Amino acid sequence: MAFGDFLATMNVYSECKRYSVRLIECPSFLFLLMGFTTIAAMIGTYLIAIRYTEPEFVVILVSGITVVIFSIGNMVVSSFERLAQASRMKTEFISIVSHQLRTPLSSLKWSLNLLTGPHLGDVNQKQLDYLNIIKESNERMIRLVNDLLEVSRIEQGRIILNPQEFSLEDLVQIVINDLAGLAQTNNVRVFYQKEENLPKVYADQQKIGFVVQNLLDNAIKYTKGRGNVEVRVERADRNTVRVLVKDQGIGIPKAQQLQVFKKFFRSDNVLKYQTEGSGLGLFIARAILESVGGQIGFDSMEGKGSTFWFTLPFATISKPSVGIGREHPVNSTAS
Amino acid sequence: MEKVLVVEDELSLQKAIVDVLGITGYTALGASDGEEGLLLAQKEKPDLILLDIILPKMNGFDVLKRLKEDETTKAIPVIMLTNLESSGDIEQALSLGAMTYLVKTNYELDDIMKRVKDTLAKAKKAA
């Protein structure tokens, strides 16, 4: 397999294998083929043209070569189309499956509501413990399905925003309170500092809440028993506010820092197989912030900890004048 | 006692909602497809309708449109209760006259009951 070895050195072979398409349908391979054909054709034309002087012959030869190159080009285009279609189908597939999963998940959720609520009479403590375990699993599945649907909306460019004016430092406080239980079980103390008199921001409050929750959730889980987490809300400059979440966790290895915001990314570290996570949170967080004119980033040192931050423009900057930003009563996510 | 109509084809979901409505103190009616839902709405004149979108025989958007075209059912507040969640679906439901759009998996039954109560209070005040 000398040809295969040669391709492997050019990384084409492995790349095509990753796409799981045949070599002849793989854009990178076809590009390579087109390049070699073009070079070979040039040299061939030159050699023939200096031997045969009849112009008709050379014209026919050049036309023939052009047709060959053109057909390979055509194959490249259609192979790209096939890949694009596969990607669209994957996005649609995620969306359909997730919607289908939602019906049984809601059925579980509501039945559990009735069973654990006051309406149907008492269950004993042991039974209640198990019902709560089912409930926790049910909620986790719902979160995963919601994240997958959000990813497919992001990829289709159909992210749903429901902007309103709100106080970012209050939202952060609410999230910290929500995660107090998680912090306690992981033996992590969360400290909160906020600058006084910050103007409000104008964005989708539930979505920004999702971002804060993800950053804090990560910070707590990866700090687990090693130290504290510090949250700060401060003015970044005249027009923007910044939220920082600083942990004393395990940090992210330098080589992997570029991948952090990629879909399904999970850092190769000691906690990879001890910590739950789909690797979708930061991908979604970045898409959300970019859609509202904010930014997200981080500094991290392996073994020392990470500081994740994001910025948002103040409402005075981002809120459209009357008549544009419609506020409608949509409640797609529970508050 | 206020009457609430639940149009939901998934029987396990319909049962849970109808049960909790009954416990909370409403008269709850269930319909398992769009046509049945529309007929019941016209016959029973409920005070509020909880409406799914994907339904046999007639989908939720069409039911909503027919409800709003009919003088006798026009004023009944409708809450969409569905698992679809695209901006197109939400816009369409609201532009056809739905009061609110709720995604089933993201709401506890208690939250839904609170919405029902608030919506009924608002409708009463408006009348």
Residue A176 lies in a domain: yes
pLDDT at A302: 84
pLDDT at A5: 59
Residue A67 lies in a domain: yes
Residue in A closest to B11 by C-alpha: A107
- Pair (A175, A117) in one structural domain: no
Cβ atoms of A29 and A76 closer than 8 Å: no
CA dist A228 and A249 (Å) reads 8
Task: Give the phi and the psi of residue B32 in degrees, each rounded to 5.
Answer: -105, 0
- Pair (A104, A241) in one structural domain: no
Can you tell me the ipTM of this complex? 0.88
CA dist A313 and B44 (Å) reads 51
| Tens of pLDDT, residues B63-102 | 999 999 998 999 999 999 998 887 778 888 999 989 989 9
| Averaged pLDDT, B8-29 | 93
What percent of chain A lies above the pLDDT cut of 90?
20
Which domain covers residue B95, as residue numbers?
3-126
| Tens of pLDDT, residues A146-181 | 888 888 888 878 888 888 889 998 999 999 998 988
Boundary (domain end) residue, out of A115, A135, A158: A158
| Averaged pLDDT, A27-41 | 83
- The residues, any chain, with a CB within 8 Å of residue A147's CB and separated by 6 or more, are A278, A280, A281, A284
pLDDT at B28: 94
Residue A235 lies in a domain: yes
- Pair (A48, A23) in one structural domain: yes
Q: Give chain B positions within 8 Å (CB) of A328.
A: 94
C-beta neighbour count of A267 within 10 angstroms: 22
- Pair (A108, A216) in one structural domain: no
CA dist A296 and A236 (Å) reads 13
Residue A326 lies in a domain: no
- The strand pair at A305-313 and A240-247 is best described as antiparallel
Say whether A253 sits in a helix, a strand or coil. Answer: coil
pLDDT at A324: 43
- Pair (A128, A189) in one structural domain: no
- Pair (A206, A104) in one structural domain: no
- Pair (A138, A60) in one structural domain: yes
Q: Are A330 and B94 in contact (CB < 8 Å)?
A: yes
- Pair (A113, A243) in one structural domain: no
Residue A325 lies in a domain: no
Domain count within chain B:
1
Q: How far is A306 from chain B (nearest CA, A)?
A: 31
Residue A268 lies in a domain: yes
Domain count within chain A:
2
- Pair (A176, A288) in one structural domain: yes
Question: Any idea which residue has 């040039």 for tokens?
Answer: A42
- Pair (A137, A176) in one structural domain: no
State the CATH number of the domain containing residue B100. 3.40.50.2300
Residue A334 lies in a domain: no
Which domain covers residue A43, as residue numbers?
1-158
Q: What is the pTM of this model?
A: 0.73
Name the average pLDDT for chain B: 91
Q: Are A332 and B101 in contact (CB < 8 Å)?
A: yes
DSSP B20-80: HHHHHT-EEEEESSHHHHHHHHHHH--SEEEE-SS-SSS-HHHHHHHHHHSTTTTTS-EEE
- Pair (A11, A138) in one structural domain: yes
Q: What is the Cβ-side half-sphere exposure of residue A62, based on CA atoms within 13 angstroms?
A: 11
Cβ atoms of A206 and A169 closer than 8 Å: no
Return the bridge partners of A305, or none. A301
CB pairs under 8 A between A and B: 81
Which of A102, A149, A330 is facing B104, going by the closest CB pair?
Answer: A102
| C-alpha Rg value of chain B to the nearest Å | 13
pLDDT classification of A24: cutoffs 50, 70, 90: confident
| Tens of pLDDT, residues B99-123 | 989 999 999 999 999 999 999 998 8
- Pair (A143, A34) in one structural domain: yes
Of the candidates A329, A327, A332, A333, which has an alpha carbon nearest to the alpha carbon of residue B99? A329
State the CATH number of the domain containing residue A239. 3.30.565.10
Boundary (domain end) residue, out of A140, A158, A176: A158
Burial B56-94 (b: 16+ CB within 10 A, else e): eebbbbbbbebbeeeeebeebbbbbbbbbbbeebbebbb
Q: Are A103 and B83 in contact (CB < 8 Å)?
A: yes
Cβ atoms of B17 and B28 closer than 8 Å: yes
